[in-house]
A = this chain, B = another copy of it.
Amino acid sequence: MNKIKIAAPATIANLVCGFDVLGLALNEPQDIMELAFSDVPGLRISHTDGYSLPVAPEKNVAGAALLALMEELSDPVGFDLTITKCIKPGSGLGSSAASSAGAVVAANILLDNRFSKTDLVRFAMNGEKVASGVKHADNIAPCIFGGVTLIRSILPLDIVQLNAPQLYVTVVHPQIEVKTSDARQILRKEVQLKSAIKQWGNIAGLVAGFMKADYALIGRSLEDVIIEPVRSILIPGFAEVKQRCTEAGALGGGISGSGPSIFMLNENKETAYVVETIMKDVYENLGIDYKTYVTTVNNHGVSIIS
């Protein structure tokens, strides 16, 4: 195989009570990437989208990830990478993770799968470093492994795949800017022990709910008493979206990544579309442009198109 075309999914990190540790992959939106071997050693990147992202490999998130992979190859190789970005940067839907993860998964297939998935996460984290200054893995891991993933530890990297039942996910991306650095800065460095206990009771319940396929338990556990009360202030309409969607039957939800996208998990498709209508209504009324998705959990991660 000399060239490959893949789809790299959007992901939701900071899954409610699972701040910094829980993420899941979505079936929509996805980035499209083509990677081809080249006789010329090194890496060349081009974009076919309108986002004017940097193409110098060390400044491009996919480039930084691929360079980390290429450093561990004994023989020099050449790659041409073409990126068609469909996940808007800054949406909170793991746009940089999709580029980073997609690039290294594509390279690994061309290289006859010589690296493990955990290796690929490690390489792709270099892309996250370029994007946000921090080597986090909570978007990368679900993008590569698919489904719901737990990053129990970053050093050493410990990724746990969690079974989950069928879930319909409704996402709204209000077209406002929330900088990851701002979202991080407004968090307090210390939290109340009693809030932390509530949070780890909830994440334990959420993991159990996923693995038992107990939707009611998932719903009861989708509560974040630490991050969301602070960060949601940065997202106009958040409280109304959340309240009306849960009243309409959504299991629960919260901020995707560090925002501004908001997601809701639903047991069935009908509710997911009702939730979408509510989200649209809220942002129409606020006069804020938005984009919505009604999708499902992506259980395979990055996939081969051709």
Q: Using A152-B221, A190-B193, A193-B187 as known contacts, say yes or no to A201 and B162 having CB atoms under 8 A apart.
A: no
B196 & A191 in contact (Cβ 8 Å cutoff): yes
Question: How many Å lie between the Cα of A193 and that of B201 in the bound state?
Answer: 16
Question: How many Å lie between the Cα of A191 and that of B220 in the bound state?
Answer: 25
B202 & A204 in contact (Cβ 8 Å cutoff): no
| Selected interface stretch from A19-27, A73-81, A105-113 | A19-27
A205 & B152 in contact (Cβ 8 Å cutoff): yes
Number of A interface residues in the complex (CB < 8 A): 40
Known A150-B201, A152-B217, A200-B200; further 16 A-B contacts with Cβ < 8 A: A18-B200, A20-B201, A21-B197, A21-B204, A22-B204, A151-B201, A152-B204, A152-B205, A152-B220, A160-B217, A188-B193, A189-B192, A199-B200, A204-B204, A207-B207, A207-B208
Chain B residues positioned under 8 Å from A151 (CB to CB)? 201
| This chain's copy number in the assembly | 2
Q: Does A10 contact B (CB under 8 A)?
A: no
Chain A 18-43 per-residue mask, 1 if CB under 8 angstroms from chain B, else 0: 11111000000000000000000000
Q: Does A248 contact B (CB under 8 A)?
A: no
Question: How many Å lie between the Cα of A239 and that of B18 in the bound state?
Answer: 30
Question: How many Å lie between the Cα of A187 and that of B189 in the bound state?
Answer: 18
Chain B residues positioned under 8 Å from A198 (CB to CB)? 153
Q: Can you report 20 residue pairs joining A to B where beta carbons are below 8 Å apart?
A: A20-B201, A21-B197, A21-B200, A22-B204, A150-B208, A152-B201, A152-B202, A152-B204, A152-B217, A152-B220, A160-B205, A162-B208, A188-B193, A189-B193, A189-B194, A190-B193, A191-B192, A191-B196, A204-B206, A207-B211
Chain B residues positioned under 8 Å from A200 (CB to CB)? 17-19, 21, 196, 199-200, 203
A193 to chain B, nearest CB (A): 5
